Amino acid sequence: MSPLLRLIAVLSLIGYSAAGKVCSRPRQLENAVFRPGRVVYNPQDSVTYTCVSGYVKDSGNDKAVCLALGSWEHATLRCKRQQCPKPGILDNGKVQYKEITYQSVIYFSCHEGYRIRGANESECLASGAWSVAFPVCEKVACPYPEIPRMGLLDFYKPQEVNVSFYLDVVRYHCKLDYVLIGSENATCSANSTWSHVPQCRDVKCQRPTEITNGYMSFAPYRKYNYKEVVTYGCNPPYALVGSRTSYCDKDGEWTQKPLCQAPCDVPTPKANVLHNGRKTRVDEISRQEIQHGDIITYYCKNKDENCAYTIQSQCDNGNFTVPACYKKPGLFSVFSSDPSKMTPCPEEQQRSV
C-alpha cells in the first residue's frame, strides 16, 4: 500500500471513530491465538480463538465480539496440553513417567538379565503421538562357553544353536587324573559372559607325614593323586582327636591330620567320683588313668549348708587338675561325712531334675 493510501485509511478510521466507538485488539488467552488480527475492530466484528500446537480445547467459548460501546464480549476458551496414549506394560522391563501430556518424557528400562532393543525414552508430541516406538526387552544371550584345557562340558543345553540365555547353566568336569579348580557350574550372567571358567590341574601330593604317638596305614614313598586317602591311628593309650583319614587336596597338600592326645593320671585314689555315668572309687579305675577328653566328677562339701555339690575336671592331653574343693580323706575320716554320701545342695537337686 502506498503512503498516500495508508494515510487515507487511517484518516477514515479516525473519522469513523469520531462518529462511533471501535474496539482495540482483544485480550490474549493463555496457550491460544485469535484470527483475524487487526489494529482496530468495528462493532459486531468478531475473532475466533484456537489452541496453539500441542494444546487442545478444554472448556469455554472460543469467539469474542466487539460491542457498540467499544468493548469486547470476551472469549472464555481454556486450552490444555495434548495427551498421549497411556503406555502399556513393558514385558520384562519398567516404564517410568509422571505425566503423559505434550512435551512429557517417559523412560524405559529392562530388568536384570534383559537388554533394551530400541530407544530408552520417548516424548509426547503436539500431535498426541509418542516420538518413537516403544522398545522391547530381550533376554541377554551368552556365546558358546569357553572350555578349559584338559576340561570337558558335562552339561550344555543351549536354547538356540550354540546360544544360551541369562541364568542358563553349564557344568564342567576334567579329564582323568586332572582336578577341577573352581565351581563345576557356570552361569550366563547379565553382562553376556559366563560367570567363570574353572581350571583343570594335574594335582600331586608328596608322601604324607607320620603323626606323633600314632601310626599311618601303608603309604609307600611316591607321589599321590588328588583325593587319594591315608588312614591314621593312635598307639595305646593315646586317644585320636579329629578325622582318622586325610586326603590329597586340590592345593597339593594333605587335609588336616588327626592328633594323638595323652591320657591322664588321676592322683586321688581314695576319692569317690562319677566316671562314665557310674559312681566309683578312683583306685577302681584301670591304672587310675583316664583318656583324653574324659571327665571325672568330684563331690565337695558345703560346710555352711552341710550338703554336697559336684565339680567336674577333664583330661586335656595328659593334664588333669583336681578341684580345689576336694579334700583328701585323713586318718580320722571315719568320723567325718563323705561328701558323696551327703544330701545334695539345693542347686544340685535342681540340676538333677
Question: pLDDT digit string (tens) for 77-101?
Answer: 999 999 999 999 999 999 999 999 9
- What's the total number of domains in the chain? 5
Distance CA 63, CA 217 (A): 109
Q: Is 188 contained in some domain?
A: yes
At 89 the pLDDT is 93
Is residue 30 domain-shared with residue 41, that is, in the same domain? Answer: yes
Residue 272 parent element (H or E): strand 272-275
Range of the domain at 74: 19-81
Residue 16 identity: Y
Q: Which residues contact 253 (CB under 8 A, 6 or more apart)?
A: 205
Per the domain annotation, does 14 fall within a domain?
Answer: no
**Most confident region among 15-24, 118-127, 334-343 by mean pLDDT:** 118-127
Whether the per-residue pLDDT at 185 is higher than 50: the answer is yes
Q: Model confidence over 102-111: pLDDT tens digits? A: 999 999 999 9
Give, as one character, the DSSP assignment of residue 219: -
Residue 13 has pLDDT above 50, yes or no: no
Nearest to 339 by CA among 301, 303, 302, 310: 301
Is beta strand 224-225 parallel, antiparallel or unpaired with respect to 229-234?
A: unpaired
Domain endpoint, select from 32, 53, 81: 81
In a domain, 348, yes or no: yes
Q: Has residue 231 got a pLDDT over 50?
A: yes
| Range 183-201 average pLDDT | 94
Length of the chain: 353
Q: Left, alpha or beta for 8 (phi > 0: left; psi -120 to 50: alpha)?
A: alpha
Residues 300, 256, single domain; the answer is no
**Which of 238, 261, 284 lies at the terminal end of a domain, its last residue?**
261
- Domain containing 239 — which CATH number? 2.10.70.10
In a domain, 112, yes or no: yes
pLDDT of res. 338: 87
The verdict on residue 2 lying in a domain is: no
Residue 251 has pLDDT above 50, yes or no: yes
Distance CA 70, CA 353 (A): 110
Triad 312, 317, 322: Cα angle to 5°: 30
Residues 321 and 338 grouped into a single domain: yes
pLDDT bin (cut points 50, 70, 90) of residue 2 is low
Q: Do 226 and 249 share a domain, yes or no?
A: yes
